[in-house]
Each structure stands twice: as C-alpha cells, then as structure tokens.
Amino acid sequence: MILQADHITKSYGATAVLSDVSLKIEAGERVGLVGVNGAGKSTLLNILVGELAADEGTVTIARDARIGYLRQDSGLQSDRTIEQELLDVFRPLVEAREELRRLEARLEGDDGLGASAPGPPGRGQVSAPATETADHEALLARYVALSDWFRAQGGFEIEARIANVVSGMGLGHLPRHLVVSSLSGGQKTRLALARLLLEQPDLLVLDEPTNHLDFPTLAWLEGHLRAYPGAVMIVSHDRYFLDALVTSICELERTKLNRYTGNYTRFVEQKAQNRELQRRRYNQQQQEIARTQEWIERHRARATSARAAQSRIRALERLERIEHPDTELRQARFAFRAGEPSYRDVLVVDDLQVSVGHGESRKVLLTGIGLTLQRGDRVGIIGPNGIGKSTLLKTLVGRHEADSGTVRWGERVRLGYYDQEQCELDPDLTVLQQLRHWFPKVPEERLRNVLGGFLFSGEEVLKPTPALSGGERARVALARLMLQEPNVLLLDEPTNHLDLASKEMLESALQGYDGTLLFVSHSRYLLNRLARRILEMSSTGLKAYEGNYDAYAARKAAEAEAEAAALANRTTAQVRAEQPAERAQFEASRRSQRDEELRRRRVAQLEQKIEQLEAAIRLIEQSMAAPGVATDPVALQQRCDVAEKRRGELQSCYAEWERLMAEE
C-alpha cells in the first residue's frame, strides 16, 4: 500500500464536494480518476497529496513513500535554466560526480608521492611522512567507495535518462541553456512533467497531463507510463489515453467515489450494467412502496388494523429509498444546425504563405499551402505543436494576414469559427450579456434556453467572464456557434477543457451537423468519429489521407514499411557502381534500415501480443464474477493464478516495448 484515504469529507460552505470518500492505491497500480467538471477531482487530489485539509477523514501514506503531483496546466516557474532544473533531480549524484572529479585531481597530484628518489630511503634521503601516505590511501578508499555508489545509483546514466525524457516530451529541440521563465506555458508544463518522470516518485499524481500534447509526445508518454516502476493516478478527459494505460477507474459522482476494474471502455460497460440493475431495483422498490401505501390507505381507518397501518407507515419512513438511476447529473445538451446550405464549392486555398512576427523576429510558418473544401466535407487537421495549425485557421477566417497566396470562399458560405483561446469573449460582460451582444435581436428567453443546454441556468447566466473556468468559457463559445447556425464550421481544438460527458455530447452534436466541417484536434476519438479526410501538417505543407484517424495511422505505417522495403531492395550492382565512400555509407544506411525494420516489426508483434493478453485478462476477470465461480474458492484461485501469470507476461511485453520505443 502506497496511499490510503478513509472517509474523506469536504464541503465549501453549504455545498458538499466529497462525502465519505475512501480510496486505496497499491504499488504499481494505474488508476484513472474521472467525473464531470466541478465534481471535485482536483479537490480530492489536493487532499491526497496534503495540499488541502479534509473536513473529516484521514490520508495515510506509506513510510518513506514519495508522491509527485502535477497540477493541471501548472508549469515550472523558475529563473534557472532547463539544464539546471533537470540536473537538480539528480543533485546527490551530481554532487557525487563533482566530488569524484576533485578526488581524481587530488589523486593525480599525489601520484608521484614517495617516488621522487629511486630505491628504498637511505642515508641522505627523506621518506614521505606516514601521514601523507595515509591521506593518499584514505583518498583512494573514498574514491573507490564513492565510485561504486555512483555506479550503483545510475550516475553514469544521468545524461541518457534526461535526453530520453526531454526528447519524448517534445522538448529536445530547446537549448538546455534557456531560462525556464522564457518558455511558453505549454513548454513549462511539459518540462514540469519531464522533471517528475525523472524523479520517479512512488506515486505519480497527474491532473490532465495530456493537455496540448501532440500525437508523437502522447504516444511516448503512454508507453513511458505503462513501464513506469511506481504507481500512477491520472485525471484525464482523453479516453484513448485512459484505455491504453489504466487498470481501474474511480468515478466521482454526486460527491461519492465508485471504483471500477478495467480501463475506461470497461468502466462505461460496467456503469451501464450497474445502472440497469439499479433501475430494476428502483422499480421493484417503487412497486413495493405503492402496494404498502395502498394497504395503509385501506386499513388505517379501521380500528382493528389501525395499529398495523401505523407500523407500516413508520417502516416506510425508515426505508432507505433507492435513487432513480436516470436522475443524472446535469449534462450539456445541444445541437448544431447548418441553416441555409452553401454552394457546392466551399473553399479554395492556393499557394498560401503565412509568417508570424515582424522584422528580425519574423518567421515563415506556412508555405505552399493548398486546400479545397466542398459542401459536406469533414476534414481533420493534425500536426506537431507549433507547426501552425491554429494560425492556418485564423488566416482562413481573416484574423491573420497571409504573406501571399489566395483564400477564396464560395457563395452563400456562412462561417462559424471556434477559437481555442476564446479571445472573442469580452471580460466586461456576463455570460448572458455576451450572447445579447452577439445576438441583439434574439429574445432573452431563447438566449436563456440555449444557455441552459450548455449548463448555465438561473443565476449562473449572470456570471462575469473573468470568473468562468476553461470549460465554462468553452461552453459559452459553443453556445454562440449554435445560435449562429453556420453552414461551415472551423474548430480549433474544440474538446479542450471539456469533461468526458461534454466531449461525448459535442461529438454527437457534430456528427448530426449537416454542414461542412474543418477542425484541428489532438483527440483521436473526435478524429475517428468525425473526420472523413485527415490533413497532416508538416514543415513541407499539407498531405491528405482519406478516412479517419485509424485509417491515417494504418496508411502511415504502410508508408514507413514501403520506404524501408525500397531502401532494402536496391541492387548489389547499383551499390558496386557507386564510389567506395558512398558504398560504405549505403551499407551502413542499409544496416540501420534493416535494424529499424526489425525493431518496428518486433514492436508491432509486441503491441499485438499486449492486446491479446489484455483481452485474455479481461475475459478471466469476467469469468471470476460468474455465480458458479465467485462462490467456488478453488475455481476462483485457479483463475487468479492464470490472470497473475498473464499479467506477468504483459509486464514483460510492456518492458520490452518501452526499451524498443526508446531506441526509435
């Protein structure tokens, strides 16, 4: 056991946030914490790590256990350089390395000690004092002991570990001498996470670690956390991430915490089963209550049975009522309409060049961009952070001026643009005033009804903009899009800041949208559900792939295999025709390509085996819940043994997969 929380209760004024919450985290566990925005997830995390006091209950942490905590979008705030921050993780080892160097210098200076005169000391010769010899031996003993400790603690692996994590977190291009305070907010957050991963605490607590990560960084983080030696507790709204990583889900709902075994997909299935069971129990109880009340009404006026009627009345009052399962927490409910359709040709972009900055700081961000959209297209744009995806959308809607090229919108195009930064929100207005400002002719009742669908009801519509959370600001921007009824939607990271329920609602609303859709996203679920074409943005421009994200990923894998095969199939005659230096270079390149191809094949084999093992473990766990097995200790133990063996194989596969991915 690393951490145990018992009967945690927390309220803010008269509002209960956590009620009788208990949780236990064992070594090596991967726990996902989910719940709607405002459910109390961050409050619970702050209590678990000791940064907030609970009103009631206790949190117990194992002796000498270390906990690392990354708050949502909280980066390092430091005047030190990147190098200094990362090396600070290994301070005892760095200090030991410096002492070893000092000892080496002193030992080299003492190397000739006692050897200035040939042969044994005789008359007329002065021998080295015994104290100097003893000092030399003490230095040597200290050097040997410290060197052994340094090696055992991984001191010679410091640079390799730092390089691996920094590269994996997408920070490898940054000079190590850069001061942390000069980095962007996203870079600071990734650096804070990189430092935590290097520290390797016994329990890693991460609040939305995947925010603003591009696909390569996200894939690396998933693999790294799967092989992480400690326990991990994660708050995330990324369903792919939770499915790939966690072994249990804890859901905060109506101030209570419920735990489910398995990943996010399994949690959704179990919750649906539990809801159906609760619905049957609720209906049965309601029928029994109705029968009891009918009996009471028939007999309470009779003298012979009045006493029995009173007894049944008291029993009804004491009855613990089962809550109706469909009495859900408030969820956003909305839909997008396209209004009047546009003409067939929606957008033509030709040879577009875009830069940012001015003067010496000017940087060409996009060049040679070509793009066409037709009515009904659904196109997702992906690419690494900083490549210019948001800038492209801003250029298309006229918020950023292009250097050259053309952007031509078709006839009857009615644009709706979602800015992930919500820059259009006026800080001096309330939520309701924002919509009044944008839609002065729409009746207030209609505005309030729309806001109600986005979870703003009653006095909440009078909330000032500066007091809104990220999720609330996103919902106001989406409400504006709904009222605009555009026939072309341009969305920049629309799922950022939304909880899982709101994300699913947005995906469903966009699936039912009958207009043209162009969107930037890092959400693999959104790209899979909505995109019919993927545009991959790189420094060389845009490359189109038909289909959704899974189809794109399969095509990219096939391209990589084809490229490797093309290099491997070069004939011996071609090689011999080249100059010796070129031939040697080719042979080295071919060996490297062959090794890389073998590595990729093994990675694919491991991923397939991991998927098979995870499926086998799920089946075993499901069979353990069967009535005939759950009550049979022998059968239950047999399945536990098989499941444990499969988990051991799974961990071995994860470890090899992580090693191979680190060689990429």
Q: What percent of the chain has pLDDT over 90?
A: 35
- Predicted confidence (pLDDT) per residue in 87-124, tens digit: 999 999 999 989 888 888 887 765 444 333 333 334 34
Query: CA-CA distance, 554 to 551, in Å (whole number)?
Result: 5
Q: What is the mean pLDDT of the chain?
A: 84
Residue 652 to residue 245: CA distance in whole angstroms: 15
Q: How far is CA 247 from CA 23, 244, 263, 369, in A?
A: 15, 9, 5, 43
| Distance (Å, whole) CA 573 – CA 315 | 95
Please tell me the pTM assigned to this model: 0.67
Q: Compare 413 and 36 and report the one with higher pLDDT.
A: 413
- Considering only 129-143, 216-230, 378-392, 539-553, which range has the smallest mean pLDDT? 129-143
- Give the integer Cα–Cα distance in Å for 526 and 529: 5
* H or E element at residue 378: strand 378-382
**How many angstroms from the chain centroid is the CA of residue 221?**
8
Kindly state the average pLDDT of the residues 627-638: 72
- Judged against a pLDDT cut of 70, whether residue 436 lies above it is answered with yes
* Contact in structure between 231 and 2 (CB atoms under 8 Å): yes
| Dihedral pair phi/psi, residue 66, rounded to 5° | -105, 135
57-70 tens-digit pLDDT: 999 999 989 999 99
Residue 533 reports pLDDT greater than 50: yes
CA distances from 103 to 154, 238, 276, 648 (A): 19, 51, 71, 44
Closest Cα to residue 81, out of 209, 154, 157, 171? 171
Would the pLDDT of 570 be above 70? no
Task: State residue 437's pLDDT score.
Answer: 92
CA 311 from centroid of its chain's CA atoms: 56
